Amino acid sequence: MRKGTLLSVRKDIRVVDATIRDGGLCNNFEFSDEFVKELYKANIKAGIDYMEFGYKASKKLFNVNEFGKWKFCDEQDIRSIVGDNVSDMKISVMADVGRCDYKTDFLPASESVIDMVRVACYIHQIPAAVEMIEYLHDLGYETTCNIMAISQIGADNLREALEMLCETPVDIIYIVDSYGSLYPENIEKYSKMYLEYANKSNKQIGIHAHNNQNLAFANTIEALSYGVSYLDSTVQGMGRGAGNCASELLLGFLRNPKYSLYPLLTFIENYMVPLKESGVVWGYDLQYLFTGQLNRHPRSAIKFTNEKRKDYCDFYKDLLDDSVF
Amino acid sequence: MRKGTLLSVRKDIRVVDATIRDGGLCNNFEFSDEFVKELYKANIKAGIDYMEFGYKASKKLFNVNEFGKWKFCDEQDIRSIVGDNVSDMKISVMADVGRCDYKTDFLPASESVIDMVRVACYIHQIPAAVEMIEYLHDLGYETTCNIMAISQIGADNLREALEMLCETPVDIIYIVDSYGSLYPENIEKYSKMYLEYANKSNKQIGIHAHNNQNLAFANTIEALSYGVSYLDSTVQGMGRGAGNCASELLLGFLRNPKYSLYPLLTFIENYMVPLKESGVVWGYDLQYLFTGQLNRHPRSAIKFTNEKRKDYCDFYKDLLDDSVF
């Protein structure tokens, strides 16, 4: 059963802009303050519901001199862009299980401009994610759990993880197609499975898609049609490797008049076009199609891209060789 | 009801490579013989079922000196590439209603290397298409009818056209998303509608998608999942404007072992990469997204592309102004 139609307004939909966070993986999080501030303003005008500013990464594990500041999302850095964020748009950050110091790096939510913390983990880290979610919930944050790389997880394990998350105060559970290997028919099955757990525990389901097979937008609207309501997008699909669902595709699709495409176009013209011209690269290309089809992490394809290689055949053959192991 | 699963082999599937025909709209049909011959060989190795060589356009309406030869597809030109086509792959050409001289330009099928003629028309040309289909069928050709721009046709008119086509000897009726404005949920509805007529008259349904909203591949596999069996694709999606469903995406999706991705990769590396580097442009970009979202012919977006404009906001505003009329 689909929820709503192509014409109807789904009041439960929330669009989450992840441009700085996922896009930051393309340029080492080195965005100018002006870029981030203008994106913040454009997102507000466009009706975006959440803007994710980056990661809360551990400064013990990562050297602050080697990354732009949005890898760490210090409170004062976000505030320098948003002030007290007097807008309807909420602020989000992502924290990876095992790669953050959540017990020391988060203020109580009442003292922070951050509204939501997205906890990203692999399946074996679910118990650690549960602890983090409980801790952050107690601090007063909205929380999500983004279980990554589900295309490599058996349904039994995934169901067990969903069962465990249902027992926590987590607000939203995300379907994450890390490898861009899922087809819309897979998304239908995952959406129904996740919603089965969400509906019985009063949680919402989100989707974070990757564009390795040019399906990020298609998979996002497939998921939403079944009732998934938190939709990740990035401007021009900017994100690691093949990138994500493009905000401009998604906003053009949604029928709620609160969403507006035009403010993003101004931002694209003034900031994204120069960013691309400066040499930052992301988006669908053959090498990502290969890793997506083979259900593999895109790291080798990213390396192929960075080396400006065009020998697709050799790359493909190497991938097939690797698949033996 | 879906037909088959993500893992099953659908023996009714036929992949139709339209690279030279739809891609020819990007370079005025000026492909080298070597390019066409290597594509022909790659398609055979890849298991492609039909290769479309171009249009059978009227030499009275179009000046042969102003286009590459694949706009006209003379018998001897095709034969210079394929000989007698001693392969399992069939040869197709497209003929537009009102823009061809079908009564003089087609040999009897038994004397031609062409196997299938695809008759493209707008809804008001259906009676003319019917005459053409009957004539070409009598000559011995397989025929299709590709009703274009269906996103601007009411369901009643479309049903009447399908009813009329059911009375003809046409073999395949195509769902054609000329403006790239259809979403997968639309495709589901069209697929079921077309298949309702096909099933009662023993015909097949095909899909020809455009990538204006990055949905060409998604829409193609959505259609096939409901039983559509003739699938148009082009290498790297080469086709007018935002282009088509990419063959490499489609072949990677299909599970029938007769299809093989690798021969196309060799062709891409040796011929498509240089073609792109020579300046031939196609593929998804914001301007096509706009015309797709607004359900408009892409011609203004193609002009925008050719003029290498990046003023997306002005272009979008102009489109909105035009929409009033």
Q: Are A218 and B184 inside 8 Å of each other by CB?
A: yes
The pLDDT value recorded for residue A323 is: 66
Smallest Cα distance from A52 to chain B, Å: 23
B176 and B253 in a common domain: yes
Range of the domain at A309: 286-322
Q: Which residue of B has its CA nearest to A181?
A: B253
Share of chain B above pLDDT 90, in %: 98
A269 and A291 in a common domain: no
Residue B323: pLDDT band (50, 70, 90) is: low
Query: Any chain B CB within 8 A of the CB of A67?
Result: no
Handedness of CA A253, A254, A257, A263 (dihedral sign): negative
Number of structural domains found in chain B: 2
Domain final residue, candidates B242, B260, B277: B277
Neighbours of B86 (CB within 10 A): 6
If phi > 0 it is left, if psi is from -120 to 50 it is alpha, else beta; for residue A58 that is beta
Smallest Cα distance from B84 to chain A, Å: 30
Question: Can you tell me the distance from the alpha carbon of B260 to that of B251, in angstroms, rounded to the nearest whole number?
Answer: 7
Q: What is the pLDDT of residues A297-312, one digit of tens each?
A: 999 999 999 999 999 9
Residue A1: pLDDT band (50, 70, 90) is: confident
Query: Any chain A CB within 8 A of the CB of B262?
Result: yes
The pLDDT value recorded for residue A324 is: 54
Minimum mean pLDDT among A117-121, A143-147, A316-320: which range? A316-320
Average pLDDT, chain B: 97
Token pair 């021969």 is found at: B263
The pLDDT value recorded for residue A302 is: 96
Smallest Cα distance from A138 to chain B, Å: 41
Mean pLDDT of B253-273: 97
A311 and A169 in a common domain: no
Nearest CA to B100 among B77, B66, B128, B78? B128
B290 and B253 in a common domain: no
CATH number of the domain encompassing residue A225: 3.20.20.70
Q: What is the pLDDT of residues B71-105, one digit of tens each?
A: 999 999 999 999 999 999 999 999 999 999 999 99
Q: What is the DSSP string of B158-213?
A: HHHHHHHHHTS---EEEEE-TTS---HHHHHHHHHHHHHHHHHHT-EEEEE-B-TT
Residue A318 lies in a domain: yes
Minimum mean pLDDT among A169-173, A208-212, B317-321: which range? B317-321
A301 and A266 in a common domain: no
A202 and A96 in a common domain: yes
Question: Can you tell me the distance from the alpha carbon of A278 to that of B219, in angstroms, rounded to the nearest whole number?
Answer: 34
Residue B1: pLDDT band (50, 70, 90) is: confident
Q: What is the pLDDT of residues B143-191, one digit of tens each?
A: 999 999 999 999 999 999 999 999 999 999 999 999 999 999 999 999 9
Token pair 């939709």 is found at: A231
Residue A9 lies in a domain: no
Residue A83 lies in a domain: yes
Note whether ipTM > 0.85 here. yes
A203 and A145 in a common domain: yes
Query: Any chain A CB within 8 A of the CB of B265?
Result: yes
Nearest CA to B182 among B151, B142, B161? B151
Average pLDDT, chain A: 97
Q: What is the pLDDT of residues A30-88, one digit of tens each?
A: 999 999 999 999 999 999 999 999 999 999 999 999 999 999 999 999 999 999 999 99
A294 and A250 in a common domain: no
Share of chain B above pLDDT 70, in %: 99
A176 and A81 in a common domain: yes
Nearest CA to A150 among A91, A236, A209, A228? A209
To the nearest 10 degrees (0 to 180), the angle between helices A184-201 and A216-226 is: 40
Q: Which residue of A has its CA nearest to B222?
A: A184
The pLDDT value recorded for residue B209 is: 98
3-state secondary structure of B222: helix
The pLDDT value recorded for residue A249 is: 98
A195 and A174 in a common domain: yes
B146 and B261 in a common domain: yes
Nearest CA to A57 among A107, A137, A133, A120? A120
Nearest CA to A39 among A229, A237, A267? A267
The pLDDT value recorded for residue A321 is: 87
Q: What is the DSSP string of B257-312?
A: TT--SHHHHHHIIIIIHHHHHTT---S--HHHHHHHHTT--THHHHHHHHTT---H
pLDDT at B321 over 90: no
A97 and A204 in a common domain: yes
Query: Any chain A CB within 8 A of the CB of B268?
Result: yes
The pLDDT value recorded for residue A168 is: 98
To the nearest 10 degrees (0 to 180), the angle between helices B184-201 and B216-226 is: 40
